[in-house]
Each structure stands twice: as structure tokens, then as C-alpha cells.
A and B are shown apart, each in its own frame.
Chain A
Amino acid sequence: MKLFVESAAVLAPGLTGWADSRAVLAGEQEYQPAPFVAPAAELLPAVERRRTGSTVKLALAAGQQALSSAGRSADSVATVFVSSGNDGDVINDICTTLAGSDRQVSPTRFHNSVHNAPSGYWGIAAHSQHPSTSLCAFDWSFSIGLLEAATQLQVERTEVLLIAYDIPYPMPFAGIRRIEHPFGTALLMTRHCTERSIAGLAIELDQSPKPPSVMVDAMLESLRIGNPCARALPLLAALARAQSATITLQRNAGQTMSISVRGKTPGTEVQPA
């Protein structure tokens, strides 16, 4: 399946947006981990912003960043949201309440507990009636989201925004599901090459599993393995380098998929990968 990337976003400790992070991801600058600064969900009306937690804010900020870089408006694209599980803060709060004697669950917490809460807030904030889906494939969520976005481009749409995000779970939930740090990313993808395309991708399911791509820098590698959505890093690094590369991502059931990346070099057209 072939598609094109117009923009990418990244939000993680020490990575505060594509423009600031591109050189680090390309290996031109050293990665300096820094405390994560929670992004403001500027897209949301104030009343909704008060009702949302860190997960929704991270997802919306990543999506908004990718759209701004591509110069597209929020109401113009269909969306695919992925994360590796529930919003940990919300589930921790609800399960703590339900284990007590007074089981009064907060109504706002309850509607925020659905896996598609970021998608719902996105629709409200973006005034977008386009279809939106919210998927989960545990540690393989990013690759299944990419596959879904690619099939949408293949069969029914011309642009799709993929948004992937996971944040650490609070204790005691963190004792059974460890996510080391927040990570959010987004890719604005199109079926056809546009004047804004930065790379062409070709995605294939591997017939037999291959070793997954890793990050050369040890600290970026620990970022990659410390958050399921950070498995996107080798692909983001290839986009940052703007050179031809092939990336392998793991899927579930021990399978892998390969992504050929063909980056844009100055003064040239992006070729399909």
C-alpha cells in the first residue's frame, strides 16, 4: 500500500514538536531528555478543557501539531486514534471508587473512560463530522493504527490523520502495567502526492517476521521501548532524515510489517516509495 506523509508531530520528554525534534530524530543533534511539559489543548473550548485529563490533551495537541504543519484545518480530515489501553488516570479513579463502600462514580469520569474519549473531544473541538475510529492492539497499537490509516487511504479517503498516544499509569495501576513516560505522535497522510508531501511510504505485511527496527541512540531506544506508541520512533527518524530507508514494525501474533520510506530531498518531487 502506497501513501504520502505531509507532516509529523512528536511530543515526549525532550521532544516538544516536530520542528524542534527533527534534528534529534535525524541523529544530527544529541537527544537531551527533559521533563515532559504537558501540552495545552488549545483546540478545545475552555469548558471542555476543564473536563479532560492528560491523555486527551496529549492526543489533541499531537493531532493539532500535525495539522498545523500541513497547513490543514481540523475539520477537513478523518481521524484514526490509537493507544495501548484505557486512560489510566480515569480507570484508576473509577476502580478505586468502585472498590470502596460508596460507589458514586463521577459522570464526567465515566464518559471520559471510553477508549474513544480523545476522538469525541476532537470532534467537538474540530467541529468535524468526518468518521473517526479508535483502535487498540496493546503493545502493537501504533502499527495497527498505521495499517488502518493506510487502508482508509487505499479504499475510501484522500487524507487521514493518525494520532497515537500513551501516558504512564498512576499507582497502583502502574504496578501491573508499566508505561515509562508520555509519548504522542501524529501523521497527516494522503493518498496522492501533494506540494506539501515530505515523504512517500509503501507498507507491506511481511510473509515471515523480521527483526524490528530500533533506535541507534541508547536514550532514544529506551524512549522507544518505554511506551507502546513510541514504537513509531524508527519511522519518525526515517522521516526526519528524509532519505530512503526501510523500517520494520512489530504487529501482534509475532508478525511484522515493513515500511519503505522515500524522503524528499531539496528541489525534487517526492517519489512513491
Chain B
Amino acid sequence: MQPLFLNRYAIASSAAIGLEATVQAIKNMRSGLAPCNFETVRLDTFAGQIAEPRLAPVRTDLAPFDCRNNRLAQLCLRQDSFEEGVIGAREKYGPARVGVFMGTSTSGILETELAYRRRDADGMLPRDFPYATTHNTFSIAWFVQSYFALAGPAMTISTACSSSAKAFGNAARMIEAGLCDAAVVGGVDSLCLTTLYGFNSLGLLSPVACRPFDGERNGISIGEGAGMVLLEKIPSPSIPNPVALLGIGESSDAYHMSSPHPEGLGARIAMEGALSNAGLKPGMVDYINLHGTGTRSNDATEGKAVCDVFGNDVPCSSTKGWTGHTLGACGAIEAIICALAIERGFMPGSANTRALDATIPVHYLLTSRSEPIEVAMTNAFGFGGTNCSLVLGRVSA
């Protein structure tokens, strides 16, 4: 594919809000996970929750969009001059030439969960909550488009935990087809009862902070977070040598709704597809940000797929020990962590992971270290057997 430049990006997770704080949290091995005390949830698990005071109501002219998920999106949009970047693109290309591609798993479903507690004597829901602009899956893309007064193609990609990785593919295709010149690509998922109790019902919540690739790993920690990227065909003149999206690979497992293919077949197809799309060989990748959720089967099958494609030499790690599993947002968040790693020359380790699973022979990093990276890959896999891998790196002059 034609490289697309990450001219601006922004991040908000329980580990840190903002780019510099995220780098410091990773370098100093400071995790954002804590015992879950979200809303009325009583579950023996850890969660990556963003402090309530940080989630300010959305801009008053966008009041119908006000919900936890869009508040989190707004928090992210307001970091690291991201807003200025998008406004600049709108002025440069025109509002109709900037697309919006957002990934989410549950959007603002918390609003509907709370509304069900307020049903009247006839069992009817209160009519005062704006379902379309809060809970509906499109709400997040609609909100971001309205926030910047854009008029290009806008969509929400909702493929569970691969959502915002795949959003880069939708954006890249629309840009290549000539329908937009720039795209706001991102992912946002916020804590809600559906995912906490849902993953609990599947027996996948860890009672401790998640430990990806640890021999004693026992499940995920759910986190909330947002990642936003301004993607353009041409590099920003104000940023020297910005990181670019070099390749995308997508596949389906065709195996099971909530378990990965035991041989990691779909994951392998996605990684090989991303490399081939980028025109790179496996040996040219310096670091892999794994999906690494911390469940027994996910990490084992991903490790197998990584070995099949790369052998066992390429340094890799999961950053979910910092952020928790941010579900539909993890693709964008981890693409941004890769971009930071390339720009600032470090490889993330793995928060909370203590002793590696000896049966997974990958070159897994426990602690963060300074080291230059030219090319990074990030993986995102989800329910329904959906897989996506992204390759990011510098465009050689």
C-alpha cells in the first residue's frame, strides 16, 4: 500500500493521558490497573479505569452526545494538539474531504444499561435519553465528525477487539480510492456492565492485574481508553520524518465465536498479509506489539502464530498490562504505542508479567528498554474470529 502518515496522534488510557505521560508510564513500568470499583460492579477483578473528574461533559453544543464513551473520546481529542491538527486538515482539504473511521465494541451502551434501571411501572424506558447519539454503535463516529464539523465519509467499525485496527484499513481504502485526503482514525471503548459481566460469564476475567504471556496468566483485565490518529497521504511539514502506516492485513478465523483458532491460523494470515501489503520480509520487523490479552488460549495461539511467521528472534510484548484490554480501542491505542516506540526509540516490556510461559518460545520482553526501532507490527484479534495486523515504520527517503 501507499504509506499514510500519522501526522498527529493522541492517547488516553488508565495508564496515562497524553503521549509523554504514556511514554513515562511504559518506561517506568507503572500500570494503570487497579481493583475494579466501577459503578455498582461487584466482581473480583482488576480494571483500567480513568478517574471520573477527567471525563468532563462533552462540549455544550454537542450535548445530545454526552455519555461516558464520547467524554472519553473528547478527553483524547484534547491531548497533544490533536484538535489543531484536524482543524488544519479541514481547512486545507475542506470538510467533505476528511473522513472519520472509529472503532468501538460497546459504544455508549452504559447509558442504556442505566436506563433499564429507570423503567416505569409499565416497563417502559425513560424517553429522555438520546439512544441514537449515545448508545448506538455509530455514536462515536458521529460525535467525532460533529466535533470537527467534518462532512466526509464517516463510519463506525465494530468488529469486537479488532475494531480500531481494522478502522485503519477502511480509512486507507477510502483515501486510496480518492474519496478523502485525510482521515481521523481511532478507537474508543469505555467501561460498562455488559463487558465486565459478559467476560466474567465466560470465565475470562483475571482476579489480579492481567499478566500477558506469564506462565501463571489467568485472564484479562478490562480497561477503558481512546486512541486517535490523523492519517494523511503527505507528511506534515512541521514534523520531521513522521511515522507511517505501511501495511494492513485482515483475516477471519472461521473457527469459533469466542475462541481463537488453536493453531493461530487466522492470526498468521493477518500478519503475513500485513507484511506483504507493506512489501516487507519478516526479518525487517524490529518489534511486535502483541494482542496479548492474558488468557491461556489467546496468548498461546498468538505465540504459535508469531513463531510460524517470524521464528523466535523478534522482540515482542503486550502492553495490556498497562492499559488493560481496551477492547475496540486497543488497535488504535497499540498502533500509537508503536508510533511512540519508533519515534522515541524504546521497546515496551510487559507490566505485571513476572515469569514467562516457557511453552511459548517467543522473544518476549519483560522490561522496557531504550532501543531504536524502524519497523513495528501490532496485532488485534477479536470475537467472531476477526484478525487484523498493522505495520508501522519510517518511510525511507
A residues sitting closer than 8 Å to B (CB atoms) are 1, 51, 84-86, 91, 94-96, 98-99, 103-107, 110-117, 119-121, 123-124, 126-138, 141, 144, 147-148, 150-152, 154-156, 171-173, 175-177, 205, 207, 251-255
Give 6 nearest A-B pairs by CB, closest first.
Answer: A120-B384, A115-B158, A110-B198, A131-B250, A136-B137, A99-B116
Picked from A116, A127, A254, the residue with its CB within 8 Å of the CB of B386 is: A116
In the bound complex, residues from chain A placing their C-beta under 8 Å from that of B116 are 95-96, 98-99
B256 contacts chain A at the CB level, 8 A cutoff: yes
15 contacts between A and B (CB under 8 A): A1-B177, A84-B138, A95-B109, A95-B113, A103-B193, A107-B201, A124-B257, A129-B265, A129-B266, A131-B251, A135-B155, A135-B170, A137-B154, A172-B119, A177-B132
Which one, B9-17, B122-130, B209-217, B293-301, is touching chain A?
B122-130
Q: Is the CB of A119 within 8 A of B198?
A: no
Q: Is the CB of A91 within 8 A of B156?
A: no
Q: Is the CB of A105 within 8 A of B201?
A: yes
Q: Is the CB of A138 within 8 A of B136?
A: yes
The answer to whether A98 and B197 touch (CB under 8 A), given A116-B386, A124-B256, is yes
Q: Is the CB of B153 within 8 A of A134?
A: no
A254 to B112, CA, bound (A): 26
In the bound complex, residues from chain A placing their C-beta under 8 Å from that of B250 are 131, 133
Q: Is the CB of A128 within 8 A of B141?
A: no
B85 to chain A, nearest CB (A): 20
In the bound complex, residues from chain B placing their C-beta under 8 Å from that of A95 are 109, 112-113, 115-116, 194
Most buried by A among B145, B170, B200, B254: B254
Q: Is the CB of A127 within 8 A of B254?
A: yes
Q: In the complex, which residue of chain A has the Cβ closest to the Cβ of B167? A: A133
B219 to chain A, nearest CB (A): 14
Picked from B132, B265, B266, the residue with its CB within 8 Å of the CB of A138 is: B132
A197 to chain B, nearest CB (A): 21
Interface string of B183-210 (1 = CB under 8 A from A): 0000000000110011111100000000
In the bound complex, residues from chain A placing their C-beta under 8 Å from that of B173 are 148, 151-152, 154-156
Picked from B96, B174, B193, B385, the residue with its CB within 8 Å of the CB of A151 is: B174
A51 to B384, CA, bound (A): 13
Q: In the complex, which residue of chain A has the Cβ closest to the Cβ of B251? A: A129
Q: Is the CB of A253 within 8 A of B150?
A: yes
A253 to B150, CA, bound (A): 8
Q: Is the CB of A151 within 8 A of B179?
A: yes
The answer to whether A137 and B155 touch (CB under 8 A), given A103-B197, A119-B384, A129-B266, is yes
Q: Is the CB of A148 within 8 A of B155?
A: yes
Q: In the complex, which residue of chain A has the Cβ closest to the Cβ of B137? A: A136
The answer to whether A98 and B252 touch (CB under 8 A), given A148-B155, A155-B173, is no
In the bound complex, residues from chain B placing their C-beta under 8 Å from that of A254 are 151
The answer to whether A138 and B385 touch (CB under 8 A), given A105-B197, A172-B125, is no
B250 to chain A, nearest CB (A): 4
Q: Is the CB of B127 within 8 A of A116?
A: no
The answer to whether A172 and B124 touch (CB under 8 A), given A91-B109, A136-B136, A138-B136, is yes
A135 to B136, CA, bound (A): 12
Q: In the complex, which residue of chain A has the Cβ closest to the Cβ of B327? A: A114
Picked from A116, A124, A152, the residue with its CB within 8 Å of the CB of B160 is: A116
Picked from A121, A137, A171, the residue with its CB within 8 Å of the CB of B257 is: A121
Interface string of B166-183 (1 = CB under 8 A from A): 100110011011010000
B330 to chain A, nearest CB (A): 14
Q: In the complex, which residue of chain A has the Cβ closest to the Cβ of B194? A: A94
Q: Is the CB of A137 within 8 A of B119?
A: no
In the bound complex, residues from chain A placing their C-beta under 8 Å from that of B136 are 84-85, 136, 138, 177
A163 to chain B, nearest CB (A): 14
In the bound complex, residues from chain B placing their C-beta under 8 Å from that of A152 are 173
The answer to whether A205 and B179 touch (CB under 8 A), given A175-B125, A176-B125, is yes
The answer to whether A116 and B158 touch (CB under 8 A), given A96-B116, A155-B177, A173-B125, is yes
B273 to chain A, nearest CB (A): 8
B 207-235 contacts with A by CB, 8 A: none
A106 to B200, CA, bound (A): 10
In the bound complex, residues from chain A placing their C-beta under 8 Å from that of B197 are 98, 103-105
In the bound complex, residues from chain B placing their C-beta under 8 Å from that of A106 are 201
Q: In the complex, which residue of chain A has the Cβ closest to the Cβ of B112? A: A95
Interface string of B69-91 (1 = CB under 8 A from A): 00000000000000000000000
Q: Is the CB of A120 within 8 A of B265?
A: no
In the bound complex, residues from chain B placing their C-beta under 8 Å from that of A252 are 138, 142, 145, 154
Q: Is the CB of A116 within 8 A of B382?
A: yes
B93 contacts chain A at the CB level, 8 A cutoff: no
Most buried by B among A111, A120, A154: A120
Q: Is the CB of B252 within 8 A of A128?
A: yes
B295 to chain A, nearest CB (A): 14
In the bound complex, residues from chain B placing their C-beta under 8 Å from that of A111 are 202, 257-258, 383-384
A217 to B117, CA, bound (A): 42
Picked from B159, B176, B177, the residue with its CB within 8 Å of the CB of A116 is: B159
Q: In the complex, which residue of chain B has the Cβ closest to the Cβ of A94? A: B194
A132 to B251, CA, bound (A): 7
Q: Is the CB of A177 within 8 A of B201?
A: no
Q: In the complex, which residue of chain B has the Cβ closest to the Cβ of A144? A: B155
Besides A136-B137, A172-B123, 9 more A-B contacts (Cβ < 8 Å) are A95-B194, A96-B116, A131-B252, A133-B250, A138-B137, A147-B153, A152-B173, A154-B177, A253-B150
